[in-house]
Homo-oligomer: A and B are copies of this chain.
Amino acid sequence: MDIAVLGTGRVGSAVGVRWAQQGHRIFYGAKDPHSPETQDLVERSGPNASVSGVREAAAACQVILLAIPWAVTREVLDSLGPLEGKILIDCINPLTPDLKGLEMGFTTSAAEQIAEWAPAAVVVKAFNTVGDAAMADPLFSGQSATMFYCGDDEPSKAIVRQLTEDLGLQPVDAGPLVNARQLEPLAALYVYLAIFGGWGGDCAFKIIQR
């Protein structure tokens, strides 16, 4: 699959490298495609990866992963070309600058806001409740971390589900896009535990059953 990975930070690089290694073609979209960090990322990703500006990367793909900071999300979306029918996978958490809470919630969510800003696209919330360590290596003492996703379009969700399995994470359908109002607070809980609660980033949520 051709996937535009917009954002080459910890999330974008963690999933980009692994998807590229598995044969997906990764089109990184970077603010500065020529920076040494970005070039290093492309090299680590192997022959299936390339990098350009965000507009070019998004234009090349049907599936676009948004792994950019919340603060620049609208600006980046507005800078992209037509998004008709494209799948926007939203990994973004609208964290407050002190990382102790969210900038929105309950009556809306970043995912719903993105869907409003990009009405021609289909938004699936995903990859926001696990840290980049879990994306790079999904196994914790032999158990795969759970990755919740939600959205309103089943075919798009099936693609996200497959991309999640490709990373070795356990995909769990968390319902319609409005349930991003639950998944974003879950990310805030993860951030609290990792940064302030003494857990560190190398932990993850898992659904357990009998």
Tell which of B141, B197, B210 touches A141, judged by Cβ atoms closer than 8 Å. Answer: B210
CB of A72 closer than 8 Å to a CB of B: no
Interface secondary structure of A, over-half rule: mixed
**Cβ-defined contact, A189 with B174, below 8 A:** yes
A178 to B204, CA, bound (A): 22
CB of A107 closer than 8 Å to a CB of B: yes
CB of A185 closer than 8 Å to a CB of B: yes
Distance to closest chain B CB from A12 (angstroms): 23
A203 to B209, CA, bound (A): 5
0 or 1 for each of A88-107: is its CB under 8 Å from B? (1 = yes)? 00000000000001101111
Distance to closest chain B CB from A50 (angstroms): 33
Interface residues of A in 90-132 (CB under 8 A from B): 101-102, 104-107
